[in-house]
Structure 1
Amino acid sequence: MLSRVADSLYWIGRYLERTEHTARLLDVNLSLMLDQTPAAAERRWERMQTYLAWNYEGIPQTYALVQALTFDVSNASSLVSGIGAARENARQVREQISSEMWEQLNRVYLQVKRTTMDQMWQEPHEFLHNVLKEGIHLFQGITTATLSHGECWHWLRLGQFMERAMATAILLDVHFAETGGTPDDQTNYLDWVGLLKSCTSFEAYCNVYTADIRPERIAEFLLLNAESPRSVRFAADQVAASIQAIASNTLGRRGDRVKRLAGRLQASLDYGQVDEIMADGLSGYLATIQQQCQQIHTNVYQTFISYPVETALV
């Protein structure tokens, strides 16, 4: 596969996962505003900007903040920018993806582009949930159903789960650092429920632990659960599987280092124990996870995408 094709497929996966993640955070924050005090809601919006590594100085109002994160084309973190970047990458590799995939992604893009902020603000949940979250989920389902599960599919999966692993680790890191890890009062309880809903994991968590909200259990579920599709461990398993498949299909190149890095990330999560992680410091553990993800990303590029010409001749 041409490196430019692999690059575009990888970033389609990342941009769509990032956009769905941002839409979910916006939806949860807007919903929780109905049950929280203005001071608690303000803290949640500040925390969200930390999640996204983004700060919009001088715009404290919720309406303006949501507008900037939704329709501001000059903001790379906005939903319209993410959908637009994914669509542009898909346009460049239309011959590699199914027509159904292109049609669905183009449909979501056009729905977002023709929606105004005033229209969205009347029913924000309908726009964020029905148009964006379900639209992206439908694209992912169409991809699984219509695209051959070969190298193209694995590049899309690699991008999707790389983004998910890092996003979930950042959510946990910021949330535990700012809440102190205790659901002692109603405000904090709602924040912990919001964290689970931000990962579409509240019902899944309750199926495992009931509705007993405990920080260490939330950390265990979102970090180490092997069956939850939103956990870091599940994402790491998918990353390792896709890297293995890509490496086996790429003749003439050495993918041993990137496979080892993915295997190391897998092992740290497979054999991790939440009590040991919490005792040693959750923040340090999550920082290591994020660093390992970044190393995998860098080495994927060096090995498969931006490698020197001489490497292709080996």
Structure 2
Amino acid sequence: MLSRVADALYWMSRYLERAEHTARLLDVFQHTLLDVTLPDDETHWEPLLASTGDLPPFREAFPEGKGREAVHYMAFDPRNHGSILACVASARENARQVREQISSEMWESLNGLYFQLRAADLRRISEDEPHRYYHAVKSGSHLFQGITDATLTHSEGWHFIQVGRYLERAPQTARLLDVQYERLCAAAAGPQEYLEWVALLKSCSGWEAYCKVHSAQITPQRVAGFLVLHPAFPRSIRFCAGSLQSSLRAITAENGAHAAGVDRVIGRLVAALQYAQPEELIAGGLRPYLQSVQQQCFALHDELHKAYIRYSVEEMVL
């Protein structure tokens, strides 16, 4: 597969996953947390921005900005390349560049989502019906993933799409838990604290799944263990790492190139997650562990691009 094709498929998937994640965060923020706190309470919207890495650029663009500006910045602002609207546009552009490599149904789905969001009345949505906007993004992303699995051959291109999705998802979960965990542990016990733990799980689409494992009883250690180590929950870090390893092995087998750096980084990450226990995460310090996960994901991105995107002719010949 041409490196430009692999790169476009990879980023198409990452951008759409990023848009879905941000839409879910904002939906939970506006439907759960705002029931019990004021919209401009910085203890809630600043961690929201921090969990997506948007806090420093937001502060630069809006020195006096508060909750309303933060939501607009994350959802609609064209100056924010990580906003929902910008990410869907970037996903569509990458798909457009490789239309011959994806199915017509995939293109129709993503193109339709893009024009649906672009045609929306952003002022009315942000003030009156933000849930419908976020729901459209989440449903559009889920639809695209289902169409991809149903219409695209599960060969090299499909695996690059999976790699993009899970390499975006794993550090998202790690960053969200990193930002929220210590703050929630330090909060006073009570109904609001409980709702915020529920909101954290809902931000990963994990509340119902968590209840099936642990019932509705919430403890910090259980939440951390579930989001980091559960082997079958699709947004846990362990599940993402395992899915990454499976697709990377398939790419290596089909491509015929040996990517030692990729194998080393993903192997180390999978092993660390496979044998870890929830109590060990807490005892050893959850924040350093989560930051290590994020760094390993960044390293995997670099090794992946060295091996398959920016490789030299000499390396491929050897």
User: 1:16 is matched with which residue?
Assistant: 16
Further displaced range: 137-146 or 253-262: 253-262
How far apart are the structure 2 equivalents of 1:79 and 1:220? 29
**Aligned to 1:167, which of 169, 172, 195?**
172
Letter in 2 for 1:240: Q
Secondary structure of residue in 1 paired with 2:77: coil
Matched, 1:75 2:75: no
C-alpha separation between the residues in 2 aligned to 1:11 and 1:177?
32
What secondary structure is seen at the aligned counterpart in 2 of 1:95?
helix
RMSD: 1.5
Which structure 2 residues correspond to residues 1-314 of structure 1 after superposition, within 5 A?
1-38=1-38, 41-55=41-55, 56-57=58-59, 58-121=63-126, 122-129=128-135, 131-180=136-185, 184-251=189-256, 253-314=257-318
Q: What letter matches 1:51 in structure 2?
A: S
Instruction: Check conservation: 2:42, 2:66, Cα contact below 8 A.
Output: no
**1:227 aligned counterpart, secondary structure:** coil
Aligned length: 312
Counterpart Cα distance in 2 of 1:96 and 1:24: 29
* 1:293 Cα deviation from its structure 2 partner: 1.0
Over 3 Å counting, the alpha-carbon distance change for 1:22 and 1:198 in structure 2 is same
In structure 2, C-alpha distance between the alignment counterparts of 1:24 and 1:255, rounded to whole Å: 35
SS of equivalent to 1:207? helix
Partners in 1 of 2:145 and 2:68 — Cα distance?
Answer: 30
Q: Distance in 2 between matches of 1:36 and 1:193?
A: 13
Measured in 2, the distance between the counterparts of 1:100 and 1:41 equals: 43
Q: Give the distance between the partners of 2:310 and 2:152, measured in 1 at CA.
A: 25
- Distance between the aligned counterparts of 1:301 and 1:214, measured in 2? 39
CA 269–248 in structure 1, closer or farther in 2 if over 3 Å, else same: same
Q: Is the 8 A contact 2:76 2:85 kept in 1?
A: yes
Following superposition, the deviation at residue 35 of structure 1 comes to 2.0
* Residue 40 (structure 1) shift: 8.4
| Deviation for aligned residue 1:265 | 0.7
TM-score (norm 2): 0.94
Alignment-mate amino acid for residue 111 of structure 2 = N
Moved more, 16-25 or 176-185: 176-185
TM-score, scaled relative to structure 1: 0.96
- The one-letter amino acid of 1:306's match is R
Q: Give structure 1 stretches of 5+ with no counterpart.
A: none
Amino acid at match of 1:123: E
Alpha-carbon shift at residue 183 of structure 1 (Å): 6.8
Q: SS at the partner of 2:100?
A: coil
Distance 1:39 1:88 in 2: 34
